[in-house]
A and B are shown apart, each in its own frame.
Chain A
């Protein structure tokens, strides 16, 4: 036993095991402390390949400005190798702008085999109303700038937006700008804040704004997740009608839907992986960690009764 004690030396783990450990530690604690432990760890943390995935989700106990500087540092270190980035809950206009510009720089390094997954979850409530228009304005700009790469490279395959309020305008024309987009997740976090004041005129069309726009402009989607979307049967019908290649559809917490009738049958028949409004959302992790979960969202019917 004493011999084993002596032999234990964490610095002597094979490099790839240490790399795996540090990538599991995640960018926040790597940058805050782990990288400074010893030379070997420091060197590993300078390797761009170590930064292919940048997941900055956290338990909401850190200042947003701090997380934003961590994010910039992490993106910087990736030197163009980043394929998946998650800035859930703290992204804002400036960060988006910064990342868009960084992307311009790294575009040249991309190869045909390189797929890009751009995860912009959780801009949350604090996002100013035009930030998304801005992101997509940047995309437009990039499309012009990157006309060739966008046609030849699978640039954007998956887009994840976790937002409470944004304009459905960002889906207009998205397909032609991101021809390889196959997975779209548009999830609401504080979905029960959807309840409008009683005197507020709510029309069915406004509930279906997002679903109708997606149905119309993104018929090529294979995977669609719309957690907490206020759509009614009207919106879902449009999606089923237009997006004929859908393999998976996640309708959890879409509580304005009534799937007891024919529409429900149609869903079950046509969609291989279907999640229903009342299915468990436990597996969603941070994205679903809504403090309001204890109070189920109101439906239109309840609204009308008030």
Chain B
């Protein structure tokens, strides 16, 4: 454990290139919070430029902002940091509009940012809880793809729940 302390002092910088050509220079310790990037770094070793054709700059920037915050908060690891992270996470998801939430979730999933996916899916779940079917469809602009009659059948099957 303690022998690795020399390697952590020199911070390697990675270049991440988004689908729209926007590049970000990030510390390795921050970027490797994302499972996908961690794998690439381990595999390719010396390569410092990583292209991410499936994420656009705006959302990659947000994902990295989140990573940076969490990487910083985790360095001085005392108990209070959990609280700081939680508070910061709450702020982070509070005002996300649905479009951003969706693309951010896609980006986080693509980059295997497990903790961020966890945070964002919880946010989505909180938007579903307590709503009726129609309200959920309306909120997420989902069209019912059940065949005519099929939906009624399902409703009938679930009618025990509303007795």
Which residues of A line the B interface, CB within 8 A? 4-5, 8-11, 13-14, 17, 20-22, 24-26, 29, 31-40, 42, 66, 69-70, 73
Give the residue name and chain of the A residue nearest to B100 (CB).
A4
Q: How far is the CA of A37 from the CA of B138 in the complex (A)?
A: 10
Q: B79 within 8 Å of A by Cβ?
A: no
Check B158 against A21 for contact (C-beta < 8 Å): no
Min CB gap B22→A, angstroms: 15
Residues of B within 8 A of A13 (CB): 102, 105-106, 109
Given contacts A21-B128, A26-B129, contact A11 B121 (CB under 8 A): no
- Return the contact of A10 from the options B102, B151, B154, B160 (Cβ within 8 A): B102
Cβ-neighbour of B98 out of A8, A21, A70 (below 8 A): A8
Q: Would A36 and B106 count as touching, CB distance under 8 A?
A: no
Residues of B that sit less than 8 Å from A by CB = 98-99, 102-103, 105-106, 109, 117-118, 121-122, 124-125, 128-133, 136-137, 140-146, 151, 154-155, 158, 160-162
Grouping DSSP codes into helix (H, G, I), strand (E, B) and loop, the B interface class, with mixed when no group exceeds half, is: helix
Q: Which residue of A lies closest to B130 (CB)?
A: A29
Kindly list chain A residues whose C-beta atoms are within 8 Å of the C-beta of B117: 17, 20
Chain B residues contacting A73 (CB-CB under 8 Å) are 160-161
**Taking A24-B121, A42-B154 as contacts, is the C-beta distance between A69 and B160 under 8 angstroms?**
yes
Say what secondary structure dominates the interface of chain A.
helix
Q: Is the CB of B158 within 8 A of A29?
A: no
| Minimum CB–CB distance for B9 against chain A, Å | 33
| CA A62 to CA B99, docked complex, whole Å | 33
Q: List 20 A-B contacts (CB under 8 A).
A: A4-B103, A5-B99, A10-B141, A13-B102, A13-B106, A13-B109, A20-B121, A21-B125, A24-B122, A26-B125, A26-B129, A31-B161, A32-B161, A34-B128, A34-B133, A37-B133, A37-B137, A37-B144, A40-B145, A69-B160
